[in-house]
Structure formats: structure tokens, C-alpha cells
Amino acid sequence: MITFMNNSDSEEEPCNERTSLMSAESPPVPSYQDGQQASEAGEAHAHRKRRTGSSRSPNNATDGDVSDSGVPVRESTLENEEEELTLKYGAKHVIMLFVPVTLCMIVVVATIKSVRFYTEKNGQLIYTPFSEDTPSVGQRLLNSVLNTIIMISVIVVMTVFLVLLYKYRCYKFIHGWLILSSLMLLFLFTYIYLGEVLKTYNVAMDYPTLFLVIWNFGAVGMICIHWKGPLQLQQAYLIMISALMALVFIKYLPEWSAWVILGAISIYDLMAVLCPKGPLRMLVETAQERNEPIFPALIYSSAMIWAVGMAKPETAARGPSQQMWDTAEDRGEDHRSPSHTNSQISERRSPVPTRPITSFEELEEEERGVKLGLGDFIFYSVLVGKAAATASGDWNTTLACFVAILIGLCLTLLLLAVFKKALPALPISITFGLVFYFSTDNLVRPFMDTLASHQLYI
């Protein structure tokens, strides 16, 4: 087994993105490399004006046209309705995020519980050089704090580096970096994972088949994530790479360091997204200024497409998804940079019918999606996976952490709907998760065990 990962690309994965609630004003946009940019920018402007109007669109396509005249009087009422719509469909967004987060956690927990490999201690990452095998508690605590400091500073450096690259428009570099790291994830880690799973279930597989399977999996994954692909396939791949990354973390981070790192990273997240000089905030603002979406590759987006008054359903359906994946070019995968938490409740218009609407048959397709950073997925799964791996109360603790994280996510999304700007997704969920983990493991478990042994029910 690899004890020290020398390749810095490997683990630092696409971690860390937090959800940020982007202001609804931010136009969702065009790929910076496309020639479509001009038209889409124009569309984006028109779109902005209509935004308030079109927010009612699922029901009233006609309003879209009428409100275009930008009557300010209507703005306030429209804003209200838009708010209501945000809340109403906010519930849908919550569900849309629950499903992938749950899936990721299920994959991680299932793997942890069945495959022994991920719970064996076989060395540590180069980023956590201090070992925890020390005799005294104080020493162990000190080591874990030092490990955390090193890890967090690596993350900070990477984030700042990424922000600088983004600011100075070194898109090719970011792009290359991303491709390299996702290559590593999709091929190497999948190979290791598959190997361990096969070992656990004692299934034989010959090398040619293995090669074929992994090659196909990896190639399709690269295409889906960095270029175009069906939305669901892309989501599935993102979930899988988050799970793989989380498994790597669970295996290679020593016990106490993992918990301290989780705590520290949620604090860092809070600061990086909310402080005026925080790197993530600067990233978000720069992207907003340039009217570009922020690194879609590191973000899980769950776009819902509502087609209203479809004139050309075919192209309409393809339009938004193209737009979404066109932005694949400026995907930056940041190694360990707790980047941008982007969850925009963004509205996108299909680029296809840009002509002013005379009839309400105009293709108004709106996509409303919520975006959650992959780093969030990873750290949620790390928390739940660690709970599954190390808690002696087994499933109760895991279940409690799972519920806590989901409720934290709900609350974050609620705040998102209220504040309408980029928000970090980690702090609330991780805090709840940590509190519930420690309290369930130490307090609830003896209680439930005693109850179960007497078969008492509460």
C-alpha cells in the first residue's frame, strides 16, 4: 500500500467547495470560450430584467412578455411572488440536494462497513506528518492540532493560488490542473477501489476485463465532467468521485486529526466565504463581475428544467444543458481549495430563442438549480464515514450524524433563500454532525444499549 502519496495532485482533490448562495441577480452564464458569448451576454441582460417576471413563469408564460416592459411598480409585487416561489421551490431544491448527499453517504458507509481496507491504518498522508501513536493524550492532541494546522494551511495556499490564477485569467493552467486531478481520481482511485471490493467479495477478475472496465469508466467520466454529458450521468460521476475522495480521507487521516480537521475546515469555510477579503468570496465576486459561472467542474448542480410555452421542445431541452456543460471549459478543479460554494438559485434562459417575445410561445426554459460544492459532499461523507468506521455504537451514531447533516443542509438552504448570497455549506452541518457524533457515541449509546438489553421502549 502506498504510505506516502508523493503526488500532490492525488489527494488534493476537488475538495472544498462550499455552497454559496449567489445573488439571484447573477446571470448564469455562457461559457467564456464560446462564440456565443456575445449573444448570451445580451441575453443575460435581457434576462436580468425579465428575471422578476419570469420567475412566475411556470404558470404564467404570458407574464414573461408583459413584464418585460420593466414596470417598476410591478417589481415589488413580482419580488414578493418571486420570494414565495423561491420558498416553494426551495423545498424542491432541498430534496434535489438531499438525494445526492444521501447517495454519497450511503456509498461511503456501505464501503466502510464491508471493505476492510478502508479502515486499516496503512500510513498517513504527507499532509499530516505527525503520527498519533504517541503514549500520552496531550502529545496526541498536540500532534493532531499540528496536523490540522498543516492541512489547513495547505488548503489556504491552494485556494489563494487558485484565486490568483483565476484573477489573472490563467484558465489553461486551471483547466490542465483540473484534468490531471480528475484523471488521477477516475483512474487510479477507481482501480484501487475496485481491487479492494473484489478482494472483499472474493471475486476473480482478469486484467483485460479490468482494464476495459476502468478505461470505459474513466473515459466516460472525463467526458461527462469536463465536457458535455447527460445531467444525471454527470451527477452520478460527481457523487462517485466525492465518495472516492472521502474514502481516501477516511483511510489516511488519523483519528483525532480527522475530527479536528473537520472542525477547523468549517471555521475556515465560514471565514473564507463571508469575510470581505476571503479568497472564496473574492472568487465569487470576480466570477460575478465577469459574468462567468464559477468552476462548474467542482460543483454539483442539480438543474431542473421547466419548459414553459415550448415552441421548439427539442432544441429547448438541449439548450440549457448545453449551456450548462459548455461552461465546462472554465472548470477549475482546485486542489484542496475550499473553494467556491456556489449554490445559485440561478435562472437560465435557453440561448435558442433570443428574439423578443411577441407570442408566449417563446421558448422560456428556465433552469433553476441549486449548486453545492463537491468539497461539501466530501466532508459530509467523511464525517458520516468516520462515524460508521470508528463509533462503537455502530449504526445509531451513523444514523444520528446523517440526520444531523441533512438538517444542517436544510438550514443552510433556508438561510440561502433568505440571504440570497454565497453561503458556506459546511459550518452548520459539520457542527451539528460533530455534536451529534460525540454525544450519541458517548451518551446515547449506553442508554440505548441498556434499554435494548431489557427490551424497554421509549
Interacting residues with other proteins (CB under 8 A): 80-81, 83-84, 87-88, 393-396, 399-400, 403-404, 407, 436, 439-440, 442-444, 446-448, 450-452, 454-458
End-to-end, the C-alpha distance of the chain in Å comes to: 47
**DSSP H or E run through 57:** none
DSSP character at residue 351: S
Pairing of strands 346-349, 364-373: antiparallel
Rounded to the nearest whole angstrom, what is the least distance from the CB of residue 111 to other proteins in the complex?
A: 16
Nearer to other proteins by C-beta: 1 or 458? 458
**Smallest distance from the beta carbon of 413 to other proteins, in angstroms?**
14
Smallest distance from other proteins to CB 456, Å: 5
Query: How far is Cα 443 from Cα 392, in angstroms, rounded to an integer?
Result: 12
Q: In what order do the strands lie in the sheet with 299-308?
A: 299-308, 364-373, 346-349
Q: Which of 293, 266, 373 is nearest to 13 (CA)?
A: 373
Show Cβ contacts of residue 439 under 8 Å, excluding neighbours closer than 6 positions.
none
Question: In angstroms, what is the minimal distance from the CB of 169 to other proteins?
Answer: 42
DSSP string, 207-266: HHHHHHHHHHHHHHHHHHHHS---HHHHHHHHHHHHHHHHHHHHHHS-HHHHHHHHHHHH
- Listed in sequence order, the DSSP H helices in 131-201 are 137-167, 171-183, 190-201
Angle at CA of residue 276, ends 273 and 279, nearest 5°: 50
Catalytic residues: 269, 376
Site of grid cell 477516475: 186
Contact 53, 71 (CB under 8 A): no
* CB of 75 or CB of 83, closer to other proteins: 83
Smallest separation (angstroms) from other proteins to the CB of 402: 10
Question: Which lies closer to other proteins via its Cβ, residue 66 or residue 451?
Answer: 451
User: Least distance in Å: CB of 88 to other proteins?
Assistant: 7
**Judged by CB, which is closer to other proteins: 132, or 441?**
441
Cα distance between residue 329 and residue 266, in whole Å? 29
Residue 198 or 418 having the CB closest to other proteins: 418
* CA 325 to chain CA mean position, Å: 16
**Residue 304 belongs to what H/E stretch?**
strand 299-308
Residue (79 or 133) nearer to other proteins, CB: 79
